[in-house]
Structure 1
Amino acid sequence: MDDYSRLDDETVCFALIGRFMFHWSVLEHAVDQALGNALNLDYMQMTVLSDHIKFMDKLKILTGAITLATFDASQRKSYHSTIDSLMPLYRDRNIVAHHQFGPLSGKRGVTFFTKQTKKTVTLTEEFWAVEECVARFVKLGEAAHAIHELSKSLETEKLNLNRLFMLSTPYGAKRELNEESGSWLSKLRGSGLLDQDDGHPNDTEG
Structure 2
Amino acid sequence: MAAGTFENGELDQACRQVGRFMYHFAAVEKSLDRIIQKAWELDDTQILLLASSLNIHQKKKIAQSAIDEQDTSERWRESARSELKKLQKLSDERNMFAHSLFHMVGKDSIEFDYFSAKGDREAGKRVVRRLEEMENKFRIMNDLVLALNRIRRSMRSLLASREYVYTFEHHTGYPHEWLSEISEESGKHAGSVVKFVPGDTEDDITSVTVAFPSAQLLGEYVRQYWKGVCDDDFIDEQLDAIKTRSKDDI
TM-score by structure 1 length?
Answer: 0.67
Partner of 2:24: 23
> How many Å apart are 1:56 and its aligned residue?
0.4
Q: Secondary structure at the match of 2:159?
A: helix
Give deviations 1:48-98, integer Å, cap 9, x for gaps.
111101110000011111111111110000001011111111111111012
Bigger mean CA offset, 130-139 vs 106-115: 106-115
Partner of 2:112: 112
TM-score by structure 2 length?
Answer: 0.56
Alignment of 1:45-84 (within 5 A): 45-84=46-85
Does the 8 Å CA contact 1:16/1:109 hold for their aligned counterparts? no
Q: Secondary structure at the match of 1:85?
A: helix
Number of aligned positions between the proteins: 151
Does the 8 Å CA contact 2:64/2:81 hold for their aligned counterparts? yes
- Distance (whole Å) between structure 1 residues aligned to residue 69 and residue 159 of structure 2: 10
> How many Å apart are 1:126 and its aligned residue?
0.8
Alignment of 1:181-196 (within 5 A): none
Alignment of 1:2-151 (within 5 A): 8-104=9-105, 106-115=106-115, 124-151=125-152
- Distance (whole Å) between structure 2 residues aligned to residue 147 and residue 109 of structure 1: 30
> How many Å apart are 1:30 and its aligned residue?
1.1
**CA 1:164–1:83 in structure 2 vs 1: closer, same or farther (change >3 Å)?**
farther
- Distance (whole Å) between structure 2 residues aligned to residue 117 and residue 151 of structure 1: 34
Does the 8 Å CA contact 1:9/1:109 hold for their aligned counterparts? no
Q: Which has the larger radius of gyration?
A: 2
> How many Å apart are 1:163 and its aligned residue?
4.9
- Matched AA of 2:101: Q
- Distance (whole Å) between structure 1 residues aligned to residue 117 and residue 148 of structure 2: 34
Q: Percent of aligned pairs with the same residue?
A: 25
Unaligned runs of 5+ in 2: 1-7, 163-250
Decide which structure has greater helix share.
1
- Matched AA of 1:31: L
- Distance (whole Å) between structure 1 residues aligned to residue 41 and residue 24 of structure 2: 26
- Matched AA of 1:148: N
